[in-house]
Amino acid sequence: MEQNRDFSSHGNASLIIGVDVGGTKIAAGLVDRDGQVSGRVKIPTDTSHPAKTLQAIADAISGVMQEAVVSAAQIKAIGLGIPGIVDPVRGTCLFSANLGWENVAVQDWLEQATGLPCAIENDVSAGALGESLYGAGQGQRQMVYLSLGTGIAARAIINGQLYNGAHGMAGEIGHLMCDPTGPRCRCGAIGCLEALAAGPALAEAAQQKIQDGSASPLLLKQLQHPEEQMRAEHVFAAAALGDSVAHQIIQRAARYLAYGLSFLVFTYDPQCIVIGGGLATEQSPLMTAIHQETARWIAQSPVARGRIGADIIRPARLQQDAGIVGAGALILAQERTQ
Ligand SMILES: [Zn+2]
């Protein structure tokens, strides 16, 4: 793999730090070779200026060393998952809407600031590696990871290697056009999967029901006060109480997601698709609906039927530490190929 870098030159240091850079918080910790995390640090992301954000990342890294009582000399390398378009070879973030970054030389800056080797990747790519090495995709040479939250994106592991494509876009199915008459996506295009089935789309659909007077009292009761913004969690809570309007909203999103999943199945033909992200907890009614819709699609498809089962869809196993483990996995995956 061309993005492989040799971290073995950094003395006898063996410890790895994983940093999950989010739009609101930075989570970091030591990741061991069993994917276990220690020395956790969580600090707010300062997005007022790229230099401030980078400094906050450097602070999180030194925070981990303090928390775990280790010195820089013991650290082999640092892996970072970044929410945006990343050039892992040059170590730059080309664009991140969440961080307000454009062409930020993350790797150079951090290597100078910390004196340690760093590797960066897109956060979904890091998540895919994490689930592949330590989570629900363990032992599968062909797998796809789908992140379902405020946005939607997937990454494939092909023959055990992360596949980003020629422009880092392989798996960006959040912007797969699903309905040419659908709503406008935040990317500017019409009817993207994300605009139909991500968290804000579920909230928007519920908001619409309130506006046109068709929301049920159960759905309305989820809001503490009339000005509170509807969120996907409110829709889930109403559905769990048996609300039929919330249930319809979720089922509709799941139908679009099953379409996205069928696209991933036929594109990558994976052994499994691991679904993670904020909307994909095991108890989430959206996951239940996704399982139903996928099973229905498989039963209807003569191509898929008999070759794959509904168990091709699996919930992610790495939960609260997923971002940190994924970032650490960037280094650990390279170690395994050296
Ligand atoms: Zn879009």
Q: What is the pLDDT of residues 79-136, one digit of tens each?
A: 999 999 999 999 999 999 889 999 999 999 999 999 999 999 999 999 999 999 999 9
CA of 245 to the centre of ligand 1 (A): 26
pLDDT band, very low/low/confident/very high, at 216 (cuts 50, 70, 90): confident
Q: Residue 236 is encoded by which pair of tokens?
A: 């889930």
**Percentage of residues in the chain with pLDDT exceeding 70?**
96
pLDDT band, very low/low/confident/very high, at 283 (cuts 50, 70, 90): confident
Q: Which of 17, 19, 10 is nearest to 32 (CA)?
A: 17
- Helices and strands in the chain, H and E counts: 10, 13
pLDDT band, very low/low/confident/very high, at 198 (cuts 50, 70, 90): very high
CA of 255 to the centre of ligand 1 (A): 18
CA–CA gap between residue 58 and residue 45 (Å, rounded): 11
Tell me the average pLDDT across 228-233. Answer: 91
Q: What is the pLDDT of residues 16-58, one digit of tens each?
A: 999 999 989 999 999 999 999 999 999 999 999 999 999 999 9
pLDDT band, very low/low/confident/very high, at 2 (cuts 50, 70, 90): very low
CA of 48 to the centre of ligand 1 (A): 26
Tell me the average pLDDT across 141-164. Answer: 95
CA–CA gap between residue 81 and residue 331 (Å, rounded): 11
Tell me the average pLDDT across 138-153. Answer: 95
CA of 170 to the centre of ligand 1 (A): 14
3-state DSSP assignment of residue 81 = strand
CA of 6 to the centre of ligand 1 (A): 36
CA of 178 to the centre of ligand 1 (A): 10
What's the predicted TM-score (pTM) here? 0.91
CA of 196 to the centre of ligand 1 (A): 10
Q: Quick one: pLDDT at residue 1?
A: 41
